[in-house]
Amino acid sequence: MKKALLLLTFAAFSTAAFAQTQEPMKTETKVRPNGTVKTESRTGRTAAGQAVQNTKEDAKYAGRKTGSVVKKGARKTGRVVKKGATAVKDKAVDVAD
């Protein structure tokens, strides 16, 4: 599955690079609240280039979502293990007495 997705991504990138047209550059300037200025320049995208951009954004979102779920599961597992260890310790103390 990973190899297929990787191959598809590379194909999309190569198609996007091949299909780029010469359009005038767009420059955006943003002034941040702390006073610094960020300038971003980009050319227009073709349909293939936009599809690659959307795929990249979707993959980033999915990665974040998956990471959150894994982190939550790890926390829950840690709590259960700690609770079980405490129960075993308490039972061992009762048997020893």
The per-residue pLDDT for range 69-82, each reduced to its tens digit, is 999 999 999 999 99
Unique residue bearing structure tokens 């007495």: 97
The per-residue pLDDT for range 2-53, each reduced to its tens digit, is 666 666 665 665 555 555 554 566 788 888 888 888 888 776 677 787 888 8
CA–CA separation, 58 and 53 (whole Å): 9
Cβ contacts of 45-53, under 8 Å, gap ≥ 24: 45/16, 46/16, 46/19, 46/20, 46/21, 47/19, 48/12, 48/15, 48/16, 48/19, 49/16, 49/19, 49/20, 51/12, 51/16, 52/9, 52/12, 52/13, 52/16
Unique residue bearing structure tokens 């840690």: 78
- pTM for the predicted model, two decimal places: 0.37
Check pLDDT > 90 for residue 63: no
C-alpha torsion angle, residues 82, 86, 89, 93 (rounded to 10) = 170
